[in-house]
Amino acid sequence: MPVIEIAGLRKRYGKIEALRGVDFSVEKGAIYGLVGPNGAGKSTLIKALVGSLCPNAGTIRVFNLDPIHDRWSLRKRIGYMPQSAALYEDLSARENIAFFGRAHHTLQLNKKLDEILDFTELRDRANDPVHTFSGGMKKRVSLACALIHDPEMLLLDEPTAAVDPHLKARSWDFFREMAGRGMTLFISTHLMDEALLCDSVAILRRGQMIAVDTPQHILQRGKTRVVVQQGTQKQTTQIASTPEALANHLHQYGLSPDVQAVALQQDSLESIILSLVNKQEEKL
């Protein structure tokens, strides 16, 4: 039974049609990426899922509930992190998180607060007003507010936008850990490379879903170019982006016939720079 089922979803704001017939479904317990450029309709889709926006047409079921008609039963089970920080700037991190915790009548709130402040690494600054925080810290407070009541599903709207690479990597560690605890995460991003970190990716473009697949399958839709240099001669061949195709291609150059798959797993530039930064920090 899918936890999210969307059919024929449409939403227009005046003349602008933000969602133009979206069909989509999500199974339980994994990380789903909603990828698309700015203005694709990601926020609109997430708002419709949490019931803060009424669609013009189509049906939405979240845990088999309607986000608007069954909102009182649904809201206990979902956590929502809006795209903007959506925090009280004059209140401290702890007070912000506690306010939303109380809204859900969270039991043992103080214990939960300590846990969540540790988890999001905010313990040291917990009692400072949020307006003194950096953008990345605000994102973590905002995430904590969405997590405080132990929801079964988290809907995060661009949680890693405008966050530095280190924190971005940490955030994805958080998301993996939460998915490991059986939570379903629905994460929007305009950063295409983050799609690789999801278990399944939905690509939204101008209000329409253009692909739903695993990131591996999406990568395979691309082509790999193999450039081989022998002496002064350079030969470029285009092959499918699979480890099997690469092995197959290399057999003609004498790769042992029993090698079935060859994959190159190069560090990304980002991860290389990150490790340089970390090394530098260890030295200091």
Partner 1 sequence: MTHTIIVAQKVVHQLRRDKRFLALSIVAPLIIIFFLKLFFDTMADGFPVERYVVPIAGFLVYFFAFLLCAMVLVQERSQGTLERMFVSGFHKRSIISGYVIGYLGLATLQAAVALGEALLLFHLDYSAQTILSLFLPIWLLAIDSVMLGILVSTFARSEAQVFPFIPLFILPSIFLSGLLIDNDRLPVWADWLGHIFPVYYAFDIIKGIVLRGEMFVDHWSNIAILVGYALVLLFLASATLKDVE
Ligand X SMILES: Nc1ncnc2c1ncn2[C@@H]1O[C@H](COP(=O)(O)OP(=O)(O)O)[C@@H](O)[C@H]1O
Binding site for partner 1 (CB under 8 A): 47, 50-54, 68, 72, 75-76, 78, 80, 82, 84-91, 95, 99-100, 102-105, 129, 145
Taking the least distance from each CB to Mg ion, the nearer of 43 and 184 is 43
Q: Please state the closest distance from residue 224 (CB atom) to partner 1, in A.
A: 43
- Least distance from ligand X to the Cβ atom of residue 17, Å: 8
Q: Quote the least distance from Cβ 33 to ligand X, whole Å.
A: 13
52 SS3 class: coil
Angle at 52 between CA 50 and CA 57, to 5 degrees: 90
Kindly state the smallest distance separating residue 48's Cβ from Mg ion, in Å.
13
Q: How many CB atoms lie within 10 A of CB 92?
A: 18
Residues that bind ligand X (CB under 6 A): 13, 16, 18, 36, 38-44
Tell me whether residue 95 or residue 199 sits nearer to partner 1 (CB atom): 95
Q: What are phi and psi of 187, to 5 degrees?
A: -120, 125
Q: Which is nearer to partner 1, 13 or 64 (CB)?
A: 13
- In the list partner 1, ligand X, Mg ion, none, the entry touching 18 (Cβ below 5 to 8 angstroms by class) is ligand X
Give Cβ neighbours of residue 207 (< 8 Å, ≥ 6 apart).
17, 18, 19, 20, 21, 22, 40, 41, 44
For 133-200, the DSSP string reads S-HHHHHHHHHHHHHTT--SEEEEESTTTT--HHHHHHHHHHHHHHHHTT-EEEEEES-GGGGGGSSE
Q: Between residue 50 and residue 89, which ones bind Mg ion under the rule CB under 5 A?
A: 83
Q: Is 43 in the site for Mg ion (CB under 5 A)?
A: yes
Query: Is 200 an interacting residue with respect to Mg ion (CB under 5 A)?
Result: no
What kind and span of H or E run contains 205? Answer: strand 200-205
Q: Choose among Mg ion, ligand X, partner 1, none what residue 40 binds, the Cβ cut-off being 5 to 8 Å by kind.
A: ligand X
The residues that touch Mg ion, with contacts defined as CB under 5 A, are 42-43, 83
